[in-house]
Amino acid sequence: MSENKDELISAFTKMMKQSGRIARRSPIFKKDLKDFGGSIKLQWKIGKLYGYQIFEEDNYSFKIGEQIENPDLFIRIHNPELALRFFNGEDMGFSYAARRDYKGKFKVQYVEGFKIVESEKGPRKQRISHRYLTAKALNDKFKHPFNLMKLPPFQRGMKLISKKEEYGVYVPINKNLGTYENKVIPYKVFEHFIEKASNIVVQKYCGCRRFNACEDHDEEIGCMYMGDDTYEIKITEDKGRVVTKEEALDYVRRAIDDGLIPLLGRAMGEAGSLGVEDTGHFLSCCFCCSCCCINGKIMTYGPNANFTMFSRIEGVSLKVDENLCIGCGKCVEVCVFRGREMVDGKAKIDQTRCLGCGRCAEVCPTGATTIDIDDINRVDALISKIEQFVDVRDQSALLD
């Protein structure tokens, strides 16, 4: 018993020290800390063992075996075995289950792998996951479970995502941006990939919109996946299906008409969550809404480092004409990336966060917000850039 306790204390201490090194060295963490108002206090309880950490702008401290007054977040790991693995730097993944009426309490699961299970509708892949952590925010500093990813203890096991593994771009939906060969830009981009794709799978419904009981957008438009790796997706009829090129184009048309923002790119995490290995032939297409989409939540609440994962199309610019702005705030409401804020009753754009999706310009009632692209041929450049990361063509046909 005492040997196990010593091992746990030693690993707990190691995690605390590593957290301090990240806090001191990481410029991105310094930015993340500002989002917590410049400091955050974490109370831990592992089995019966307490410990705390205080992150401040110029200071970091921790203590094992004690509780702190007025913590901002209480984190509990019930199973010391799992705590040990986490403290020793194992990447436990991050899958959380919050109630719909999330009031600051949530559980984090770790995904051990997948198993094939038989169902009435045929074999399907099922996750093997275990709860390893529960947390409770004790004030409004901590706003969402994804805030956890901003904290050093949860960044230790994370491997840096390289641009080769994750590359995504939001395609502007604004129809005033212009047309390319008489088609709105997102439609043109999708048409290119759908035409080339060896296989296309669509989800029968959008998990994010269904989970959040979305009232503003069509729940029946979910993610779309293209390329050879999608042959490995084991999806049952009630969850999704393989579609023809015509059906895929129609799906995209419905998404655009519904005001959903297309996100296209390589997302190895997305392939992994479906139990599929991404070998460079898996194009993820998400149709995001500002209200429910998990990608928007990750961008809003996750680490500022996430902004390296997505790009704005080169040549796209956003402007606000202050003389026309009536300060209604609609643009701030629809922006999922915290790219807008109100200053003295006028809307401002944070150019470092704005990803050029064009949603704000669509909803602006006075035309104060405008989106422009300097050269419509940038669309070709965008397609080529995505193709550097993902090849959706039939690879066996290329060998002939």
Residues that bind ligand SF4 in the complex, under the rule CB under 6 A: 206-209, 222-223, 286-288, 292-295, 318, 320, 325-331, 334-335, 337, 339-340, 347, 349, 354-360, 364-366, 368-369
Tokens (6 digits) for 48: 């019966």
Q: With respect to ligand SF4, which residue has the nearer C-beta, 224 or 392?
A: 224
CB of 170 to ligand SF4, least distance (A): 7
CB of 235 to ligand SF4, least distance (A): 13
CB of 43 to ligand SF4, least distance (A): 32
CB of 268 to ligand SF4, least distance (A): 15
Residue type for 290, please?
A: S
Q: Give the closest residue to 395 by CA, choosing from 235, 247, 229.
A: 229
Tokens (6 digits) for 86: 């986490």
CB of 55 to ligand SF4, least distance (A): 29
Report how far residue 170's alpha carbon sits from residue 43's, in angstroms, rounded to the nearest whole number: 38
Q: With respect to ligand SF4, which residue has the nearer C-beta, 162 or 366?
A: 366
CB of 31 to ligand SF4, least distance (A): 18
Report how far residue 131's alpha carbon sits from residue 290's, in angstroms, rounded to the nearest whole number: 29
Q: With respect to ligand SF4, which residue has the nearer C-beta, 151 or 334?
A: 334
168 within 8 A of 364, measured Cβ to Cβ: no
Q: With respect to ligand SF4, which residue has the nearer C-beta, 150 or 359?
A: 359
Q: Give the closest residue to 191 by CA, choosing from 96, 304, 285, 290.
A: 285
Which of 9-36 are b and which e, b meaning 16 or more Cβ less than 10 Å from the residue's Cβ?
A: bebbeebbebbbebbeebebbeebbebb
Question: Which one-letter DSSP state was computed for residue 228?
Answer: G
**Residues contacting residue 97 through CB under 8 Å, at least 6 positions apart:** 106, 107, 109
Q: With respect to ligand SF4, which residue has the nearer C-beta, 90 or 237?
A: 237
Q: With respect to ligand SF4, which residue has the nearer C-beta, 32 or 270?
A: 270
* Distance from chain centroid for Cα 294: 5
Report how far residue 87's alpha carbon sits from residue 13's, in angstroms, rounded to the nearest whole number: 9
Report how far residue 355's alpha carbon sits from residue 338's, in angstroms, rounded to the nearest whole number: 10
Q: With respect to ligand SF4, which residue has the nearer C-beta, 137 or 292?
A: 292
Report how far residue 288's alpha carbon sits from residue 310's, in angstroms, rounded to the nearest whole number: 14
3-state secondary structure of 39: strand
Q: With respect to ligand SF4, which residue has the nearer C-beta, 54 or 332?
A: 332
CB of 93 to ligand SF4, least distance (A): 17
CB of 154 to ligand SF4, least distance (A): 22
Indicate the pairing of strand 105-119 with strand 122-137.
antiparallel
Residue type for 205, please?
A: Y
CB of 209 to ligand SF4, least distance (A): 6
Q: With respect to ligand SF4, which residue has the nearer C-beta, 200 or 357?
A: 357
Report how far residue 157's alpha carbon sits from residue 39's, in angstroms, rounded to the nearest whole number: 22
